[in-house]
Structure 1
Amino acid sequence: MLILRYSPASPYARKVRIAADLLGLSERIEIVAGDAADPADSLRRQNPLGKIPTLILEDGSTLYDSRVIVEYLDHLSGAGVIPVDPSARFAALRLQALGDGVNDAALLIRYETFSRPEALRYDEAIAHQQGKIDRALDALEAAPPAGQVDIGHIAVACALGYLDLRFAGAWREKHPRLVAWLEKFARAVSTFEATKV
């Protein structure tokens, strides 16, 4: 059995769990919580970066990060959340990069505002990361994901879910088309709600 080290709040682990479900692999994966902040957690031995998600294969070797894990699961299943056709493939991978980039920026803001004492916070860094999120959301509002659900759709949905979780859904007011798209995605992909924190 495969083992997925995860955290319930991690948008990257959520992306892997949704992809695994769509690929029909959920029954082959044991979900085991990991604490990236705990030096005693075996996660640091399984992934030198000490990051979530990490996938432990049946032979004990590991894969990380979420993009590599999804690529492996896609290969393992033969089903395909990553399209084979080059045009569709690179469109999906680009959309995944956009969703993951929103998560990267949101996590940096979260660390800066939640983990760092207020007197040490760097407002320019926060504004820089917020600019990335704002531009990505504006691009997605102008052209919400379309077509068959693929890894790009999953990554964007997980990024929006993370913004809902950590920033009280402040993105929603200015992005009605994206809100409508996410509602449609949630209806079509039941694991999205099932993995919500």
Structure 2
Amino acid sequence: MPILRSSPPSPFGRKAKIAAAVLGLSDRITVELTDTTDPNDSIRQQNPLGKIPALVLDDGKVLFDSSVIVDYLDHLAGGGKILPEGEARYDVLRLQALADGIMDAALLQVYEVRFRPEDRRHPEWLAYQADKVARGLTSLEADPPATATPDRTPNVGQIAVACMLGYLDLRFDGAWRADHPELVGWLKAFEAAVPAYEATRPPI
């Protein structure tokens, strides 16, 4: 059985877990807790970058990062489920790239504070990353993804946006919500339509 190396707070790991759930694959994957800061954790051998998520296949091959993993999961489920075929595929991939980029910028802000002592932090670097997040959210607020519905499998772009907003709730106290009412309503609809979102909610 494939093993998904991840940790509950990871928005990228959450994306893979939600993808597996909506594709009906959760019972075919084992989720294994991972500590990327521990030099003795085997993640550094499984993924030379030492990053999560990583999917260890039955033959020992390891897939990373999350965009590769969700593509593989879609293939495993028969294809065309969360990644559409044809030209529509690129709209979904673009949405995923935007959400993933916002998550990357948010993570970099968290890491700057977590791993640098206060006197060595770079306010300009933090502002640079925060501006990426702000621009991304403004773009999504002006043109939100299609609303998720219970009768239709969400695409990977929608899943990525939901995980990104969830991460901003977790690490930035939901400050994004005040200026983005369209996205607040969008996420509420996603939560109602996709039970896996609540099931994968990280502990506070």
Q: Normalised by the shorter chain, which TM-score bucket?
A: over 0.9
Q: Hey, what does 2:159 align to over in structure 1?
A: 154
Shift of 1:116: 1.1
Q: Hey, what does 2:77 align to over in structure 1?
A: 77
Structure 2 distance, partners of 1:85, 1:24, is: 23
Q: Hey, what does 2:187 align to over in structure 1?
A: 182
Q: Hey, what does 1:167 align to over in structure 2?
A: 172
TM-score normalized with structure 2 length:
0.94
Aligned pairs for 1:1-197 (under 5 A) are 1-79=1-79, 80-86=81-87, 88-146=88-146, 149-197=154-202
The farther-off stretch of 4-13 and 73-82 is: 73-82
* Cα deviation digits, residues 76-95 of structure 1 (max 9, x gap): 11151001122x10000000
* Cα deviation digits, residues 16-45 of structure 1 (max 9, x gap): 000011111100000100111111011111
Structure 2 distance, partners of 1:187, 1:116, is: 39
Structure 2 distance, partners of 1:43, 1:114, is: 21
* Cα deviation digits, residues 67-126 of structure 1 (max 9, x gap): 00111111111151001122x100000000011001000000001122211100100000
Structure 2 distance, partners of 1:129, 1:181, is: 24
* Cα deviation digits, residues 40-80 of structure 1 (max 9, x gap): 01111111111110000011111000000111111111151
Structure 1: 4+ residue segments shifted above 3 A: none
Structure 2 unaligned residues grouped into runs of 5+: none
Total equivalences in the alignment:
196
Structure 1 distance, partners of 2:24, 2:198, is: 17
Shift of 1:187: 0.5
SS in structure 2 opposite 1:85?
coil
SS in structure 2 opposite 1:32?
strand
SS in structure 2 opposite 1:52?
coil
Structure 2 distance, partners of 1:33, 1:96, is: 24
Amino acid at match of 2:22: L
Percent pairwise identity: 58
Amino acid at match of 2:134: D
Amino acid at match of 2:181: P
Structure 1 unaligned residues grouped into runs of 5+: none
Structure 1 distance, partners of 2:20, 2:133, is: 26
Structure 2 distance, partners of 1:20, 1:120, is: 40
TM-score normalized with structure 1 length:
0.97
Give RMSD over aligned pairs: 0.9
